[in-house]
């Protein structure tokens, strides 16, 4: 997002931002309808991949903490 201010949080605590693309298979992301459009469609498999990525990060943190 153009007005994202998460960088201010990262100045105080370790962290990361993940960009999860949801463009449907077979479409080019540059020509697909944007996420806040009423014509937007998404790849229904992508949210599950995002949840899995967040769970993997949480599991790794629980095992290794900030040092891993």
* Residue 18 banded pLDDT, cuts 50, 70, 90: confident
Three-state secondary structure of the chain: CCCCCHHHHHCCCCCCCCCCCCCCCCCCCCCCCCCCCCCCCCCCCHHHHHHHHHHHHHHHHHHHHHHC
> In the predicted model, what is the mean pLDDT of residues 30-35?
87
> In the predicted model, what is the mean pLDDT of residues 34-38?
87
2 pLDDT more than 60: no
């Amino acid at each position: 997002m153009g007005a994202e201010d998460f960088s201010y949080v990262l100045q105080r605590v370790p962290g990361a931002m993940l960009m999860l693309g949801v463009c449907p298979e077979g479409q080019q992301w540059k020509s697909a309808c944007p996420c806040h459009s009423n014509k937007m469609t998404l790849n229904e498999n992508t949210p599950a991949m995002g949840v899995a990525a967040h769970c993997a990060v949480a599991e790794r943190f629980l095992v290794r903490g900030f040092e891993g």
